[in-house]
Amino acid sequence: MQNTAPLNWRRFPERYLLRGSYCETCKQAFFPSRAICPNCRRKGKLISIEMPRTGKIISYTRVHVPPEGFKNEAPYYLAIIELENGAKVLSQIVDSDPEKIKIGAKVKKVFRRIAEPDEYGTITYGYKFKVVE
């Protein structure tokens, strides 16, 4: 059993609440969080914010050969989503008709199991997205 619990715990704000960064100087949002604004460097003033729960698909693929921990899921859709504030998120798409998973489709955040390495370790929870009308 891999002891991934401490690593996962440090990412709870990101995975549970989509917490990222926002630079008050250049007004740009970043996900995941940044230690320093890539635009403003030392002049940037980053704060932690919860990202919007909705966005749109800007690219996607269908995964048939999953990595460890995702065997129960395959086949599944993976997409790059642009959130309403411009930040981009890589996420699984669930609960969606395959015909509706397309570039430009509106999506909303849902809370799901992300991975389960084995039956003894901790379960990783976090965000996925679903297509909404």
Partner 1 sequence: MEAGIVAYGVYIPKLRIKVSEIERVWEKSASGLGVIEKAVAASDEDACTLAVQAARVACEDFCIDPKRINAVYVGSESHPYAVNPTASIVAEALGTSNKYFAVDMEFACKAGTAGLQVCYALKKAKMIDIGLAIGSDTAQSKPNDPLEFTAASGAAAFFIGDSKEEVIAEIEHTCSYTSDMPDFWRRPKAEFPEHTGRFTGEAYFKHVISAAKMLMEETGYKASDFSYAVFHQPNGKFPLKAAKILGIDLERVKQGLLCPYIGNTYSASTLIGLASVLDVAKPNEKVLAVSYGSGAGSDAFVLNITDNILHRRAKVKVWDKIKEKQYIDYALYVKHRRKIKL
Interacting residues with partner 1 (CB under 8 A)? 12, 16-17, 50, 71-73, 94-95, 97, 110-114, 122-123, 125, 128
- CB closer to partner 1, 36 vs 74: 74
The Cα 130–Cα 127 span in angstroms is 10
CB of 130 to partner 1, least distance (A): 9
Q: CA–CA distance from 37 to each of 5, 21, 45, 83 (Å)?
A: 29, 9, 7, 18
The Cα 20–Cα 49 span in angstroms is 6
- CB closer to partner 1, 83 vs 128: 128
Asked if 105 and 54 count as a contact pair (C-beta separation under 8 A), the reply is no
CB of 40 to partner 1, least distance (A): 28
CB of 1 to partner 1, least distance (A): 14
- CB closer to partner 1, 67 vs 97: 97
- CB closer to partner 1, 46 vs 128: 128
Strands (E) across the chain are located at: 19-23, 29-30, 46-50, 54-63, 76-83, 88-93, 106-115, 124-131
CB of 59 to partner 1, least distance (A): 22
